[in-house]
Amino acid sequence: MEKEVKQSMTILVIDDDDRVRTLLRDILLFERHQVIEASDGESGMRYLEKGGLVDIVLTDLGMPLKNGWEVAKWIKKELPQIPVVLITGWGTNLDEEKVKESGIDMIIGKPFQVNEILETVHLFMKVH
């Protein structure tokens, strides 16, 4: 029996760059997803810690307070069912061991294309 594809998701977007966060929010809202925004890793983690429910997390790598590695590692320890997508200007030139150890499900390089974001979200809509 096939899993039902969700029509929309609640997505936590964590990025310290207001322009990137706003762009991601607008892309996702256009597709009728609910978007929760956090300007740093610590506030994103705090939202989840307080019981905030999300289907997927899109997080930047380089941020103040808690970086994307720390965010992903914490989510995978505390809420392992939530997929974590790392969006980074470092591209795919990341330490594979660190990626594996942090539990990141997918990496999208900056600058990203709108279709990369949408395809990634749609992929996780089918998996969920």
The burial class, CB within 10 Å (0-12 / 13-18 / 19+), for 102 is buried
| Residues 43-81 pLDDT 10s | 999 999 999 999 999 999 999 889 999 999 999 999 999
Model pTM? 0.90
Tokens of 11: 């997505």
Which residues on adjacent β-strands are paired with residue 109? 88
pLDDT surpasses 50 at 107? yes
Average predicted confidence (pLDDT) for the chain: 90
Helices (H), the chain: 18-30, 41-49, 68-78, 96-102, 114-127
Q: Check residue 109 and report its DSSP letter.
A: E
- Structure confidence at residue 100 (pLDDT): 81
